[in-house]
Structure 1
Amino acid sequence: MSYRLLQFLSVLLPTVLIGGFEYIRHDFLLDSLSMEAGNLYITILTFVLSLLFSFWMFRTIKAMNVKLVNEQSKHAVYEERERLARELHDGIAQSIFFMNIKLKQGDIESATRALSSIDSHVRQAIFNLRSEPEINDSFNTRITKWHSEWSVITGVEVEEEIRIPQNFFTTKEEVQIFAIIQEAFANIRKHAYASKVIISLRDLGEGWQLKISDNGRGISTSEKSCRQYGLSMMEERSKQLGGNLQIRNSHSGGTEIIVTKEK
């Protein structure tokens, strides 16, 4: 049932029912029903009909909203899976092309590194797809579960400071933030040589902030260029969230990735 039909019924039903009662009262019941009694009955009738109609209408709207949220959740997850598939395809295609060139040149060591890169791409993509958020889980639970598995696979310690109320983000925002986290941790695994990562996600009252910091070797300007695809993806997703992305070296060593959104 559409919202337009609900709007039409909310106008039509009270008009027909109450108007019909008034018509019957004046044409057929005027001699047997006093004006005071008629006014009392029409008041009671209006209240009962309004109550029943409001219960039915809000229950219908709630069911429609639940269905819409579920559809949006599925669509957001499908979009993220398509992105991961494109990323996997591009990464493997580039590595295979590079490996083919090196094999023709007889550079076995470089070809072996390219093969290792393909293996890394496949493992990361499978891990991301397997860890795709389930609709029934809370966002905080999904983050904790993903980091726990990532820590086991990489051997890097992960410390969490998640201070976000439940249902704070929309489903689309959760998918975008989760993708930023995945890309940031993929870069840490590939480039940072870190032994510990700290991730914090905080409600600022007038917005929120995601901060991911590691104790690795930091990032130089040249390395930012080398990692351009992943960084540009994080920047694009931050913009879609209406936030601002910062990537910098921390004072204590390592890299900080900060996404801040102000309301």
Structure 2
Amino acid sequence: MLSGQRREFRLSYRCGDSFFQMTAAWFTHEGAAHVVVAHEDVTELASARQDVRDIAGRLLSLQEDERQRIAADLHDSTAQHIVAAGLGLMRVQAAAGDHQNVERAVAKVRSSLDEAHREIRTLSYLLFPPNLRANGLAASLRRFVEGFSERTGLKGTARVTGDVDRIQPEVQRAILRVVQEALVNVHRHAEASKVSVSLRRDPAGLHLRVSDDGKGMPRKRTKATAAPASLGVGIPGMEARIRQFGGTMTIASGVRGATIRAFVPLHGDTAVPHLLAFGTEHDRIELPGSPPNLRVLPDGNDSSIG
């Protein structure tokens, strides 16, 4: 820093049950280089953020349970009512005989019921993906994308490289849920014909990419997602899942579709939660919550499929 090669330095570390942060800033005065150093106890801040992370994890877990319940209700109850309505229409058509007006009206209603049945089956599948614990992340991801393609008619591809089945189960679940939510958005809004999912593990961590060739995200919606993420469905929920493990997420949207990229750092075979990712000497590590973890690029030039 005194040589001017670095302008700032930040070190966060743990000592016993306490957390501390040292920051240094470089400046010049009367032609000479100086460094001002500050050291502070951030135990309360780290503890508060750990509490927030724990609450966020519990809320996401509750959200997941609720989604599974809704998916089961759609599949077991609502879909059955639609099937029963279709059978009732068949009886109405048989009783009407050769009356063409009745037959045309029944045909329109039946078409609407068939479409509603397909939509419910698709959404119930998207809300309740394959068994992660039994199949592992790689197989679950491939099966999920395959099932998505079968139910929606979109051409979906999934590519997984690296050993992703040995990472922390909570991280596996978060990755699968992010893909799940991304495909729901593609199905509902993108008007796409193709979607690709890529998950890669390297020494730094997990790299996830979901892209489609649809119409992209409207600018007004893109601006809304640039606000601080909160728990909930859609993009804020996706970002919250990635952020709880110290990861980042970016969205690039343009005329060739939208691309979501997420990165989760890994240490060994597990992911270190953001609130506990304190560094060692000479590392520059930010305390959690300082920079925004979500960047939205409304006019991205990323190739949407590949």
Structure 1 residues 76-126: Cα deviation after superposition (integer angstroms, max 9, x where no partner): x975641415877xxxxxxxxxxxxxxxxxxxxxxxxxx999978854552
Task: State the percentage of identical aligned residues.
Answer: 23
**Aligned residue number for residue 3 of structure 1:** none
Is the partner of 2:133 in helix, strand or coil? coil
**Aligned residue number for residue 256 of structure 1:** 259
Q: Against the structure 1 CA distance between its residues 117 and 205, is the aligned structure 2 distance closer, same or farther, given a 3 Å change threshold?
A: farther
Moved >6 Å (runs of 4+): 115-121, 225-228
In 2, the alpha carbon distance for the partners of 1:192 and 1:129 equals: 18
Tell whether the 8 Å contact from 1:192 to 1:217 is kept in structure 2 after alignment. Answer: yes
Tell whether the 8 Å contact from 1:84 to 1:125 is kept in structure 2 after alignment. Answer: no
In 1, the alpha carbon distance for the partners of 2:243 and 2:115 equals: 29
Aligned partner (choices 58, 65, 72) of residue 82 of structure 1 = 65
Letter in 1 for 2:234: G
Letter in 2 for 1:238: I
RMSD value, Cα: 3.6
Structure 1 residues 133-184: Cα deviation after superposition (integer angstroms, max 9, x where no partner): 2422121111111111110111111122211315332111111111110100
**Aligned residue number for residue 137 of structure 2:** 139
Tell whether the 8 Å contact from 1:202 to 1:210 is kept in structure 2 after alignment. Answer: yes
**Aligned residue number for residue 180 of structure 1:** 178
Letter in 2 for 1:220: P
Hey, which of these two has a bigger chunk of strand by percent? 2
With structure 2 as the length reference, what TM-score do the two structures score?
A: 0.46
Q: How many residues align?
A: 163
**Aligned residue number for residue 244 of structure 2:** 240
Q: How does 1:6-155 map to 2 (within 5 A)?
A: 81-85=64-68, 122-128=120-126, 130-155=128-153
- Mark the runs of 5 or more structure 1 residues left unpaired by the alignment: 1-74, 89-114
With structure 1 as the length reference, what TM-score do the two structures score?
A: 0.52
> Which of structures 1 and 2 has the bigger CA Rg?
1
Instruction: State the 1:222 CA deviation.
Output: 1.4
- Mark the runs of 5 or more structure 2 residues left unpaired by the alignment: 1-57, 72-112, 226-231, 267-306
Q: Against the structure 1 CA distance between its residues 247 and 134, is the aligned structure 2 distance closer, same or farther, given a 3 Å change threshold?
A: closer
**Aligned residue number for residue 50 of structure 1:** none
Aligned partner (choices 206, 221, 226) of residue 208 of structure 1 = 206
Q: Against the structure 1 CA distance between its residues 143 and 170, is the aligned structure 2 distance closer, same or farther, given a 3 Å change threshold?
A: same
Q: Against the structure 1 CA distance between its residues 148 and 130, is the aligned structure 2 distance closer, same or farther, given a 3 Å change threshold?
A: same
In 2, the alpha carbon distance for the partners of 1:212 and 1:143 equals: 12
